[in-house]
Amino acid sequence: MTATSLLVLHELLCGVLLWSCFCRATRTNASTALPILLSFWLLSVSALFATFAPLLISWEPDAVSLILLASIALVQTVTARYWQQSPPAAFQTRRS
């Protein structure tokens, strides 16, 4: 793959990850456990930094970083069905 196609794939995967974090954030509530909130906040910040890393620090994506990013995005996508209405019960401090 060319450097340009690696960069395009990297940006697309970052977009998927950011979107999945945004969708999860919109479903959290006052009962969501703090470690869950912090985890998704950190994942969002990391994905945002990764999105702009090629511009900010002249970083170029490689196969390893793309595989890792794709794996995380896949986990977020596959587990999204458990977040349709609210965070899973295990992620809540108070159970309804």
What residue segments make up the domains of the chain, in order of their start?
3-87
| Distance of alpha carbon 41 from alpha carbon 51, whole angstroms | 15
pTM of this prediction exceeds 0.75? yes
Rounded to 5, what percent of the chain is helix, strand, coil?
Answer: 75, 0, 25
User: Average pLDDT of each block of 10 consecutive residues along the chain (96 residues)?
Assistant: 91 96 92 94 96 93 94 94 90 77
Q: According to the model, what pLDDT value does residue 35 have?
A: 94
Q: According to the model, what pLDDT value does residue 95 have?
A: 61
